[in-house]
Chains A and B, each alone.
Chain A
């Protein structure tokens, strides 16, 4: 076999290898979330504003900013979305990219779930029974008043929350992070993996956070 044939065999082998590998579907290599199809040409809108009267609200945003605020001046939850393909389906607000603001009335006793690919989630004095956050890349910060559960998970990001709990509960906290710290009644606990129960009471508030950097300030008196 001459040099030309050897080089030809190499080219053919590389070509067959490349074509074979390029046939491997992405779903075998990567996991994506699934969802409905809020594409610009389907919704035809860049903004949405309206009430979302439900005790379970889900927010699903691919990229952008989510602001959740406790607002004593309103009677029922209100949502404002500005960006690409904002859609509200029953109790779920969806958007591909942009800014989403959710206002919750004082004493709202519902469950809030937020799923976001990349961006920032800010909570300002948010009253909830339970909060669940799944974030790919970004930050979660602010303050909330919670009665039952808080679960926050980011793939790559930071979490800095002030969590108000009722007076008569104990708080069970699980933190998994590279750098984690918990403040409670003047006490500070630091570490990567922390699992502690603070306070005394019949009822339990569970707080579970998994992120790169976690800073929690647990306070009694609201919620």
Chain B
């Protein structure tokens, strides 16, 4: 019972006092099990409900030849969403970590920032639940929930900035650079090189980031 209370407390604390919640997560050396469970649940439900809902909208038109394919994709959307979400979590957390190190911050662990970024998905529970209600009862509610994902994602991004600030003991301004600007620049460079050179461009980006990171760590 105490474990459940502890879980509920940590979940609530992330939204009510994120800095304190993240600090406790690091200091108490909690595992990333709870944040990852939250992240996987949100990724699964949000992607599955969004895709299934829009396939449902299309379902009003009888698609005799490709209806089965849409249905298959819809029923696999949750799994695909989780796989994509976990890859996104690993890449994004790694980019934050690398940027923080390049900025000279030696505190903060990589596995902690993974847990904290996963924890920051908590606000997305609300539009996800609305999408679930919309999936069951109303397509309009479903569309509203998809629109609401944008402001709730901004809330989530704010939590990531706070998490970065706590994990690497940096100011909020530097945390914005480490968690937003740095990863954004890396993604833009990766897209630009990939569009010019294909997969080679992506490899060059990854190797480039690794070399810069190792050079600065020397």
Contacts and interface: CB of A to CB of B under 8 A. Distances in A.
A22 B126 contact: no
A105 interface: no
B86 interface: no
Interface in B37-81: 38, 41-42, 44-46, 48-49, 52, 55-56, 59-71, 74-75, 78
Nearest to B47: A22
Contact of B52 (A18, A22, A33, A85): A22
A36 interface: yes
Interface string A10-49: 1110111111011111110111111111110000000000
B12 interface: yes
Given A12-B8, A18-B129, A33-B62, A7 B16 contact: yes
A8 interface: yes
B5 interface: yes
A4 B45 contact: no
A15 B75 contact: no
A12 B11 contact: yes
Contacts of A137: 60-61
Contacts of A17: 129, 132
Given A21-B136, A33-B67, A26 B75 contact: yes
B8 A60 contact: no
B77 to A, nearest CB: 9
A136 B62 contact: yes
Contact of A15 (B10, B48, B78, B125): B125
Contacts of B67: 32-35
Q: Tell me whether chain B's interface is mostly helix, strand or loop, or mixed.
A: helix
B65 A94 contact: yes
A90 interface: no
B176 interface: no
30 contacts: A1-B5, A2-B12, A4-B8, A4-B12, A4-B16, A8-B7, A9-B12, A11-B122, A12-B7, A12-B8, A14-B125, A15-B42, A15-B45, A17-B132, A18-B46, A18-B129, A18-B131, A22-B78, A23-B78, A26-B74, A30-B59, A33-B67, A34-B67, A35-B65, A36-B65, A61-B65, A96-B65, A96-B66, A118-B61, A137-B61
Ranked 6 nearest A-B pairs via Cβ: A32-B67, A8-B8, A4-B12, A7-B12, A8-B11, A8-B12
Interface of B: 5, 7-13, 15-16, 38, 41-42, 44-46, 48-49, 52, 55-56, 59-71, 74-75, 78, 122, 125-126, 128-129, 131-132, 135-136
Given A35-B65, A61-B64, 15 more contacts: A3-B12, A3-B16, A4-B13, A4-B16, A8-B8, A15-B125, A18-B129, A18-B132, A19-B41, A23-B78, A24-B135, A62-B66, A96-B65, A118-B61, A155-B61
